[in-house]
Amino acid sequence: MSSVFSPVVHGEVMLSLDNVFDPEELRAWCERTARLAGVASESLAYVVEPKIDGLALAITYDDGELVRAATRGDGRVGEDVTDNVRTITNVPRTLAGVTGRLEVRGEVFLSHADFAALNERQRALAQKEFANPRNAAAGSLRQKDPSVTASRSLSFLAYQLAPLATTLSCTTHLDTLDQLASWGFLTAPEALRVVGESGVLSRSEWFETHRHDFDYDIDGVVIKVDDLALRETLGATSRAPRWAIARKLPPEERTTRLLKIEVSIGRTGRATPFAVLEPVVVAGSTVALATLHNQDQVALKDVRPGDLVIVRKAGDVIPEVVGAVREPGRRRAKAWHFPSTCPECGAALERRGDESDTYCVNPACPAQRLAQIVHFASRSALDIEGLGEQRVAQLLALGLIDDVADLFFLRVDDLIELEGFGALSANALVTAIAAAKEAPLSRVLVGLGIRHVGPVAARELTKRFVTYDALEAAPLEALEAIEGIGPVIAGSLYAYLREDETAARLVRLRAAGLTLREPVTDAPVSQTLAGRAVVVTGAVEGFSRDEAEAAVHARGGTSPGSVSKKTYCVVVGEAPGAAKVTRAQELGIPRIPASEFVTLLESGSWTATLA
Ligand code: IVH
């Protein structure tokens, strides 16, 4: 997916904000700022306002006419999203009485109510739900078709005015907010002018107490020097202004009752314990299930059914159970033990060697089948629109499919009468599946879920062996000889290609008309990450560590082992390094989920970051 949006070089760099994490750091920042400004600390005026968890946007007006809107991008170059922003109803198209050019900056977001309504629609359409309002807003803003953006009820909140070639009479930040409001922009009504560090501290505490009373997600408080002339004096570093600071609110933790512990089976057979909770709203969305990672983690946390537990979504969109709250005098249930058999098929659950994970040993396990087919249809593989987990489960339960190959034999007539389907959706699904027959061989290989064969390896393999037949006929040594393919990947693929089940599946995929061929292109890999440092931490599905680094390098980037001010972004995989994640948080470096890695490689950008 290369970006469909043209790059926009910002007239004035869109800076980020430095962060503080507790009241002491905030106090120290106030003192330092007053000293640098040459003002007594107790008399310096600030405005304290909410830090909205959305996406920064710069909107340019020429002689009062909206002419362009751009995302922040890397601060220097963003993406032109003008057509989409024109559909946001609370963005004024014209500003009365303005001459020359000016730029309004602020945040695009989805209110809680609009987020809930959007996810309800997604559910009704059997489409994937959004994890949180921020990701939903990002996805909605970056739509190719503005009418889709228009249907998403985005809002914009303005907090900054950059007169690039015009003069305005604002002398304070509060004046600016008043000016913006008089043009019809939404500004934060809670933005309040306070004096001195005591004012700053008590107002930020107010925000902390009321963080859930907002109609949108806030992930902190922004404190800004009110006097615009003083801001000029204070200036900025290359990354952030010295006149403002973000006080990050601690990751939200909630307590709720743990109803039971269950085990889910993934496509490789991995058994993951998870907590079934009394539903609780954490950081803007309702959480009823939370991961417990693995057997050792459950034992370590010693959480038991009936316990009051702490739940959070720290640094990630995936909710997790932190631990149990002690309730003196309450009788606890017996310690929970990892089951020895698969809850889905009854086969044995086994731990391999010294791995911390446990696996269901039955390759025909229905839960594995479900996860395999969902993976086959997913974005990273054949990208079959409209074939999410719910639908795959429905088709499996009805016996309409049992294997990925069966998908290609589904007919409109099989689907049209099913619950949740109509003529339109049945046709759409069959068409989407038919389109996948032409998918490049590398995507088919990814979809088959062959151990160790991720997108990068699959592309390397199919560059050398363009058809399935050629790949199947290749001797082990020829596979190992391919650049980037070591004995582990080669061995795994070689064995997979020779399994009976694979042969049977291939007969059917061929009969269905899959081309099983890689389109040959001589185009060099586009340099989407030229000069950018991308730190990868934790496991990224489909990539070994070396593959992930090689993929970044192939696109002109570097992949240093630690996070610094110069880091472009941090890709956070499973079981990430805590130090890297914390450092990125401290420096305000974007942290992006591993599911965005392929998008990052292809476009140099991302559509979602971690909260
Ligand atoms: S002022 C130069 N004010 O936070 C100052 N930013 O972590 C630039 N944000 O990129 C930003 N609410 O997207 C400012 N009230 C607010 C904000 C805010 C959210 C975002 C903004 C910025 C990011 C920095």
- Spatial distance between the Cα atoms of 573 and 568, rounded to a whole number of angstroms: 16
- Spatial distance between the Cα atoms of 499 and 502, rounded to a whole number of angstroms: 5
What one-character DSSP code corresponds to residue 564?
-
How many CB atoms neighbour CB 561 within 10 A?
A: 10
Looking at residue 175, which CATH number applies to its domain? Answer: 3.30.470.30
Looking at residue 307, which CATH number applies to its domain? Answer: 2.40.50.140
Mutate to test the pocket of ligand 1, among 51, 225, 231 (most ligand atoms within 8 A of CB): 51
Cα angle 551, 495, 272; round to 5: 70
Looking at the fold, whether 546 and 594 belong to one and the same domain comes out as: yes
Q: In this structure, are residues 59 and 85 in contact, taking their beta carbons and an 8 Å threshold?
A: yes
Looking at the fold, whether 377 and 339 belong to one and the same domain comes out as: no
- Helices marked H in 40-97: 82-85
Looking at residue 558, which CATH number applies to its domain? Answer: 3.40.50.10190
pLDDT at 579: 86
> If DSSP codes are grouped into helix, strand and coil, which group holds residue 101?
strand
Q: HSE (CB half, 13 Å, CA atoms) of 285?
A: 26
- Phi-psi region at 386: left, alpha or beta (left = phi > 0; alpha = psi -120 to 50): left
Which residues make beta-bridge pairs with 244? Answer: 224
Within a domain: 525: no
How many CB atoms neighbour CB 5 within 10 A?
A: 20
- Spatial distance between the Cα atoms of 580 and 559, rounded to a whole number of angstroms: 13
pLDDT at 164: 57
Q: What is the tally of structural domains in the chain?
A: 5
Residue 61, H or E segment:
strand 55-62
Q: Is the CB of 372 under 6 A from ligand 1?
A: no
Q: Catalytic annotation on 51?
A: yes
Amino acid letter for position 17 = L
Within a domain: 332: yes
Within a domain: 611: no
Q: HSE (CB half, 13 Å, CA atoms) of 133?
A: 28
Q: In this structure, are residues 391 and 376 in contact, taking their beta carbons and an 8 Å threshold?
A: no
- Spatial distance between the Cα atoms of 311 and 319, rounded to a whole number of angstroms: 7
Looking at residue 474, which CATH number applies to its domain? Answer: 1.10.150.20
Q: What is the secondary structure of 245-256 as a DSSP string?
A: EEEEPPPPEEEE
Question: Ligand 1 centroid to 220 CA: how many Å?
Answer: 10
Q: Give the domain-ending residue among 438, 453, 473.
A: 438
Q: What contacts 247, CB < 8 A, 6 or more positions away?
A: 19, 20, 21, 26, 51, 204, 220, 221, 222, 223
- Spatial distance between the Cα atoms of 222 and 248, rounded to a whole number of angstroms: 9
Atom of ligand 1 nearest to the CA of 50: 15
Amino acid letter for position 493 = L
Question: Ligand 1 centroid to 141 CA: how many Å?
Answer: 18
Looking at the fold, whether 11 and 88 belong to one and the same domain comes out as: yes
Helix (H), strand (E) counts: the chain:
22, 21
Nearest to 311 by CA among 369, 256, 263: 256
pLDDT at 2: 43
Sign of CA dihedral 482, 484, 487, 491: negative
Amino acid letter for position 188 = A
Q: What is the secondary structure of 388-442 as a DSSP string?
A: -HHHHHHHHHTTS-SSGGGGGG--HHHHHTSTT--HHHHHHHHHHHHHGGG--HH
Looking at the fold, whether 169 and 196 belong to one and the same domain comes out as: yes
Range of the domain at 594: 533-603
Residue 128, token pair as written in the block: 């994937």
Cα angle 266, 268, 273; round to 5: 35
Nearest to 4 by CA among 602, 608, 610: 602
Q: Is the CB of 17 under 6 A from ligand 1?
A: yes
Which residues make beta-bridge pairs with 395? Answer: none
> If DSSP codes are grouped into helix, strand and coil, which group holds residue 80?
strand
Q: Is the CB of 285 under 6 A from ligand 1?
A: no
- Spatial distance between the Cα atoms of 370 and 380, rounded to a whole number of angstroms: 17
Residue 433, token pair as written in the block: 């599946």
Within a domain: 526: no
Looking at the fold, whether 16 and 83 belong to one and the same domain comes out as: yes
- Please pick, among 51, 224, 301, 313, the residue that the annotation labels catalytic: 51
Looking at the fold, whether 26 and 143 belong to one and the same domain comes out as: yes
pLDDT at 575: 83
Atom of ligand 1 nearest to the CA of 15: 2
Atom of ligand 1 nearest to the CA of 219: 19
Within a domain: 140: yes
Nearest to 202 by CA among 224, 221, 177: 221
Closest C-alpha residue for ligand 1 atom 7 = 17
- Spatial distance between the Cα atoms of 478 and 487, rounded to a whole number of angstroms: 11
Closest C-alpha residue for ligand 1 atom 21 = 56
Closest C-alpha residue for ligand 1 atom 18 = 51
Within a domain: 610: no
Q: Give the domain-ending residue among 248, 275, 291.
A: 248
Q: Give the domain-ending residue among 438, 472, 494.
A: 438
Within a domain: 339: yes
Atom of ligand 1 nearest to the CA of 53: 19
Q: In what order do the strands lie in the sheet with 567-572?
A: 533-537, 567-572, 591-593
Return the residue matching tokens 């003083």.
230
Looking at the fold, whether 55 and 74 belong to one and the same domain comes out as: yes
Q: What is the secondary structure of 130-187 as a DSSP string?
A: PSSHHHHHHHHHT-SSHHHHHTT--EEEEEEEE-SS------BHHHHHHHHHHTT-B-
Looking at the fold, whether 340 and 207 belong to one and the same domain comes out as: no
Average confidence (pLDDT) per 10 residues, the chain, 611 residues:
76 92 94 95 96 95 96 92 96 93 95 90 80 87 92 95 72 94 96 96 94 88 96 91 93 91 94 95 84 90 95 74 93 94 96 88 93 93 93 96 96 95 95 96 95 88 93 94 89 95 95 94 79 91 81 89 92 88 89 90 86 75
Within a domain: 62: yes
